[in-house]
Amino acid sequence: MTDDRTVVAPSEDLLLVEALRAGDERAFMMLVERYGPAMLRLAMMYVSTRAVAEDVVQEAWLGVLKGLDGFQGRSSLRTWIFRILVNTAKTRGQRESRTVPFSSLWSPDPEAEPAVDADRFRPAGDRWPNHWIEGAPASWEGVPEERLLAGETLDRVREAIEGLPPNQREVIRLRDVLGWTSAEVRDALDITETNQRVLLHRARSKVRRALDGYLHEETVVT
């Protein structure tokens, strides 16, 4: 149980807020640089055009500045900023009278998306049903480190993420690219723990699959 009055924001956040309150422009621009891209992408999930999304981000930053005195560190600063962004985007989206309810934005597709294709497993009736067939995942340890960490491998990761449905894409970006905790993502996006985890699972599974295909192909060539 978390006490609602507990300060959970890291001390860095509190210092930043102090700096902003004192009118430190550099501190503000650093935040804009750090969170601007993710804020714009998220805003675009709620409104129709990039121009409107940019407007939403601008309005959200103003909301952040105006609300600074009310920030008490009950969440991390970034969670607080993104909640303001999401609320601003929702309000704007509603004004645009979107037909899709926002709650469904973050609901995983009810269609099952298996992490691994069914044909990689032994069929029912086999001696070991649902266990790997020949060609079970092989370790990537044999892949030389310079290849594994090469720009080309990272390009594949980036491409795989770009190709994800928007809700999976934004969750994996916040969690694994930006390194947020599951609680921060849940609170910032106002989604359930379960939806957050299902979206993350599907996203990670697809990125792994893309990487395995790429690294396997590379290892065969050499």
Report the interface residues with other proteins, using CB under 8 A: 23, 25, 28-29, 32-33, 36-38, 40, 54, 58, 61-62, 65-66, 114-116, 118, 121, 128-132, 136-141, 148-149, 153-154, 157-158, 161, 172-173, 176-179, 182, 193, 197, 200-201, 204-205, 207-208, 211-212
Output 98 or 204, the one with its CB closest to other proteins: 204
* Tokens matching residue 15: 């210092």
* Tokens matching residue 189: 């996006």
Q: How far is the CB of 199 from other proteins (least distance, A)?
A: 10
Phi, psi (5° rounding) for residue 132? -55, 140
Q: Where are the extended beta strands (E) located within 28-105? A: none
Output 90 or 156, the one with its CB closest to other proteins: 156
* Tokens matching residue 36: 């601007």
Q: Which residues pair with 132 in a beta bridge?
A: 121
Write the DSSP string, 170-184: HHHIIIIIS---HHH
Output 95 or 131, the one with its CB closest to other proteins: 131
Among 91, 93, 97, 94, which residue's Cα sits nearest to residue 44? 93
Output 4 or 152, the one with its CB closest to other proteins: 152
- Tally the C-alpha atoms within 13 A of residue 75's C-alpha that lie toward its C-beta: 19
Q: How far is the CB of 180 from other proteins (least distance, A)?
A: 11
Q: How far is the CB of 44 from other proteins (least distance, A)?
A: 12
